[in-house]
Amino acid sequence: MRKVLASAAVGAALIGAPVWAADEFVFDPSHTHILFSIDHLGFSDVHGEFLDFEGSAVFDPDAPENSSVSVTIDTASIDTGWAARDEHLRNADFFDVGTHPTMTFESTSIEMTGDDTAVVTGDLTILGTTQEVTLDVTMNGMGPHPFQEGVTVAGFSATGSIDRTAFGLAYGSPAIGDEVHIQIETELNAGGS
């Protein structure tokens, strides 16, 4: 990641785009997917995603470990491709969206593990319960957006897992798996109008 950020800063200077100095980036909702999967009765994995969210990240190219990310997810936006299941997931057995309309993630530390990889640790809050989680993150690239003048785009992939019962999401355990696998694919943008 350090190498990618340094190369991006040099390239930006050469072509006249802004150089990134701890700039704030916001999630591009059209190119961000917050995905999950969970074992169902030992027969299959159910996949889903959250469709509504907002958040930002601050990137420091000189010290990537000082970067940060913050995300708020609308729990009612859960989508597993089956309306009846989604309604059940929204009720008090699971996300209780009437009482807890959002879940949040706030990073607390970033540990570089390679030129373009890091472990991001943060506080995840679901149902009013906060637990520390870690995500393995890869920076896929960063540079001037080819179709939006003055916009800088950064792309990331992240994976991790949580124990849902630690947040009080215990319905159906252990028949429905306790471990939830997370996959995030995202583009974030800075600059532009």
| pLDDT beyond 80 at 15 | no
Q: Of 70, 65, 56, 185, whose CA–CA distance to 125 is shortest?
A: 70
**Residue 163 is part of a domain; what is its CATH number?**
2.40.128.110
**Mean pLDDT, rounded, for 162-185:** 98
| CA 191/CA 76 separation, integer angstroms | 30
| pLDDT beyond 90 at 64 | no
Q: H or E stretch including 84?
A: helix 83-90
- Gyration radius from the chain CA atoms: 18
Q: Of 193, 168, 164, 156, whose CA–CA distance to 181 is shortest?
A: 164
To 10 degrees, the CA torsion angle through 45, 33, 8, 108? Answer: -80
Looking at residue 12, what is its pLDDT? 35
Q: Percentage of the chain surpassing pLDDT 90?
A: 82
- This prediction has a pTM of 0.87
Residue 171: give the domain boundaries.
2-191
How many domains would you assign to the chain?
A: 1
